[in-house]
Amino acid sequence: MLVEIPEIFNAQEARAMREQLEQAEWVDGRVTAGHRSVLVKHNRQLAEDHPLARELGARIIERLSANNLFMSAALPEKIFPPLFNRYEAGESFGYHIDNAIRPIKGTQGRVRTDLSMTLFLSEPGDYEGGELVVQDTYGTRQVKLPAGSAVLYPGTSLHKVNPVARGARISSFFWVQSLLREDSERALMLQLDVAIQRLMHDVPGHESLEELTGVYHNLLRKWADV
């Protein structure tokens, strides 16, 4: 299941974040790559413990916690502190699958990477190339969203970032440990939640609402990994 989440930040907010990141010191992106992905990763990254990464990361998590689509699609148990990367001319990240478990630097915490997420901070017209390519259940998808919008997809997916030919692609990327391990279960729960919300809007007094809401919570109770 690949879900696009529009306007987590508006264009002005995304531009302000991008301008802050433009002034930061970037390091080789391979510092967080696994044994295989290090061979195909060519970009730069803000250090995990950089104060700006922590500041902007906290802002992202706060905004996501208030985003109904993200909460419904991800059913988050834990969110890895957001990281930030930058691709310029000739830089790319070849096909890879993210590590299953990510330790949180400086802590004893770990996150199981059920879901991967990219928050775009550069406008599509600011760079050429740089599409996120995900081999989804329904085929290969290319994603390049407006600044402030994000895409959520299974951590099990083979994916890459196409080479950037012009300009700079700046984004945040991170992972989510979901209450539900299985993508098929998350997809069903999202479909059911959307249907309930639509029914609440269209016929708010419908007698089936309580029953459907009960089905939702009973499925969550059955499947949740807590």
Joined together, the tokens standing for residue 50 give 């950089």
Q: Is 183 annotated as a binding-site member? A: no
- Is 202 part of any known ligand binding site? no
Place of tokens 């030919």: 165
> Do 20 and 51 form a contact (C-beta atoms < 8 A)?
no
42 CB-contact burial (10 Å; exposed 0-12 / middle 13-18 / buried 19+): middle
28 among annotated binding-site residues: no
The one-character DSSP state at 40 is: T
| Strand segments (E) across the chain | 3-5, 26-28, 41-42, 44-46, 76-79, 83-87, 92-96, 101-103, 110-112, 115-120, 127-129, 132-136, 139-143, 150-154, 159-161, 164-167, 169-178
Cβ atoms of residues 52 and 26 within 8 Å: no
* Separation between Cα atoms, residue 111 and residue 161, nearest integer Å: 23
- Backbone φ and ψ for 104, nearest 5 degrees, come out as -90, 115
Question: Is 198 assigned a ligand-binding role in the annotation?
Answer: no
State how far the Cα of 132 lies from the Cα of 118, in Å rounded to an integer: 9
User: Is 175 within 8 Å of 115 (Cβ atoms)?
Assistant: yes
Binding-site entries: 96, 98, 159, 169
Binding-site residue positions for Fe cation: 96, 98, 159
Which residues are known binding-site members for 2-oxoglutarate? 169
